[in-house]
Amino acid sequence: MSAEQRLSDHERALYSRQIRLPGVGEAGQLRLREAKVLLLGAGGLGSPVGLYLAAAGVGLIGIADPDKVEISNLHRQIVHGFDTLGLPKTISAAEALGEINPGLKVALHPEGFTVENAAELVARYDLVVDGTDNFATRFLAADACVLGGRPLVHGSVLREAGQVGVFLPRTGCYRCLYPTIPDAASVPTCADAGVFGATCGVIGSWMASEVIAVLLGKRTASRLLVIDVAAGTSKLVAMAADLACPCCGSAPIIRSLEKSAYVPTLCPTLPPMSETPLEVTVEEAQSLLAGPNPPLLIDVREMDEYAVCRIEGSRLIPMNTVPTRLAEIPQDVPVLVQCHHGGRSMKVTQFLRAKGYAHVSNVKGGIDAWSIKVDPKVPRY
């Protein structure tokens, strides 16, 4: 083994606690040192991902972000500080990552991740991490990774919940879950709905863990994790390749990256999703359910939770079974989605909207709020 294929004494000391882990060792640490990871976005999610990948010993991190540091970023984008206000985020992030690991190589892409450079950037790296905050770039990253045969680790966050997706070549991609780019108005942004910085830290740290697991060969299939920080829960959602997927299916229609394809659009055969509110209060849900044409109420909690309490007339479809039970959910009637506190149901609502369900709304606060504000006979837990 040549000197280049060994860790130095400095590296052994720096990564000693990590090297001791099963499945890592010196060979795993060398794999991390040789890895090249492209980070899309140096914001709320990209900050913890970048910091932990640098600390873990990933050899080269590329940072693609066209934005500059603003004061509203600082409560959650922890690679930046008051001393870097106004600087490009790529430069600010590179400085912070260099403080964590001076041996790290950083490549800056201040032009961001665009249709024009996506294929070339993906080809230069072993893995892509998507921490962006807009649908167009998320779908562009997903498609570029499928076409380029690269794994993608995706993250998103809203309020006190988030999701982490691992999409490996030929085992299911982002479009297997979300075939079309939804209307940007159908899902609120963090600027609209708010977000805790610590929630970004949780989701971003989980993303970094998945990146490391992929680089070490510990992941063999695509997977989606849904995390509700407020409820203290996480769920692994069933993930499988969709033969009808427009990007990785048996007859894909996406064979190249075209600029016109990455503009959020609505399915022309359905009314705009924004006509149906993304979220309703429990009082509004009660009024709708008592009306002449009541919506279908779907409870996405687990069976043991459903046994404790339920809203009369609800249909139990646990969240992790929704992708395989879409046939039970009609598209031509209004649908309300409810869980314990509203986190899981919001994710299912977003998933169904992306699948073309135009008349679906989340019940804010879930059955807990229903018990407090509508029917105190419903037990709380």
Domains of the chain in sequence order: 35-262 (3.40.50.720), 273-373 (3.40.250.10)
DSSP at 38: E
Q: Is the pTM of this model over 0.75?
A: no
The helix/strand/coil state of 118 is: helix
Helices and strands in the chain, H and E counts? 14, 13
Q: Residue 75: CA atoms inside 13 Å, Cβ hemisphere, count?
A: 8
Residue 262's pLDDT is 87
The catalytically annotated residue of 173, 200, 309, 339 is: 339
pLDDT confidence of residue 191: 56
Q: Which residues contact 200 (CB under 8 A, 6 or more apart)?
A: 44, 45, 47, 48, 76, 77, 157, 162
Residue 267 has a pLDDT of: 36
**Known active-site residue 190:** yes
- Sign of the Cα pseudo-torsion (309, 311, 312, 314, in order): negative
Q: In what order do the strands lie in the sheet with 279-280?
A: 279-280, 360-363, 335-338, 296-299, 315-316
Q: Which of 190, 200, 247, 309 is catalytic?
A: 190
Residue type, 74: L
Please report how the helices 25-34 and 197-215 are oriented relative to each other, as an axis angle in degrees rounded to 10: 110
Query: CA-based Rg of the chain, rounded to a whole angstrom?
Result: 22
Which two structure tokens, joined as six digits, stand for 1? Answer: 């083994």
Residue stretches of the chain with pLDDT short of 70: 1-4, 183-194, 264-275
Cα dihedral across residues 359, 360, 361, 367: positive or negative: positive
Residue-wise over 293-323: b if at least 16 C-beta within 10 A, else e? eebbbbbbbbeebeeebbbeebeebbbbebb
SS3 149: coil
Go through the chain and tell me how many residues it has: 381
Tens digits of per-residue pLDDT, 123-134? Answer: 999 999 999 988
Buried-exposed string 368-380: b where 16+ CB fall within 10 A, e elsewhere: bbbbeebeeebee
Residue 314 identity: S
